[in-house]
Structure 1
Amino acid sequence: MNMTEKAKEYILNALEESNVDTLRFYGIAGCCGMNLAVGLEPAKEGDQIEIVNDVKIAIMPKMAKELQGVTINIEEQNGEVGLVLDGYTPGCGC
């Protein structure tokens, strides 16, 4: 997993505003199994912890394979900024 400098800045600001120190990737039940979700929240027991570009990231083990080779980036659309995962291919798309 990689992260652009712009994403790092955006995430670190969001973490500071939320008084949290971790970006967490986890799975939620969907029509085709687990769907990837992300939040500004503490790691849960069993999460894999990585430091990517000085950002602490927790990953639910079941979702780790989906995030291999992904670059965390940001994009702006209609004046709104959000995270994107370059190289991520979602599940079935239902």
Structure 2
Amino acid sequence: MKITNEAKKMLEEIFSSNDCDCLKAILQKSCCGTSLVFNLAKLKDGDEPTSINGISVLMEDDVKKRAETITITVENGELAIQDEASSGCC
């Protein structure tokens, strides 16, 4: 997973205004198999986040594997997820 500098800045602002300090990435079943879903979260004792461009991301090993082709960026002033492995079936 990659997080662009522009997306990092936007995420830090979102964290600040929502009393959060990390992203939590999970896999969700979809019509095309599985999709990544991101939620705002607050780190707890014992959490071991992955730091991506200074942003803490909580994710299990299977999610890390799926996230290898993801870039979080900003498009038209909003966060966007680009997936190099997307099949475009949906």
TM-score (norm 1): 0.72
Among the aligned pairs, what percent are the same residue?
23
Give the paired residue count: 88
Counterpart position of 1:93: 89
Alignment RMSD (CA, Å): 2.6
SS of residue paired to 1:68: helix
Which runs of structure 2 are paired with 1:1-94 in the superposition (5 Å)?
A: 1-42=1-42, 49-76=49-76, 81-90=77-86, 93-94=89-90
Give the deviation of 1:5 after TM superposition: 1.2
Q: Structure 1 regions of 5+ residues with no counterpart?
A: none
1:56: how far off? Answer: 0.7
Residue aligned with 2:49, SS: strand
Q: Which TM-score applies when normalising by structure 2?
A: 0.74
Q: Which runs of 5+ in 2 are unaligned?
A: none
What SS does the corresponding residue of 2:36 show, helix, strand or coil? Answer: strand
Q: Which amino acid aligns with 2:16?
A: E
Residues of 2 paired with 1:29 and 1:68: CA distance?
18
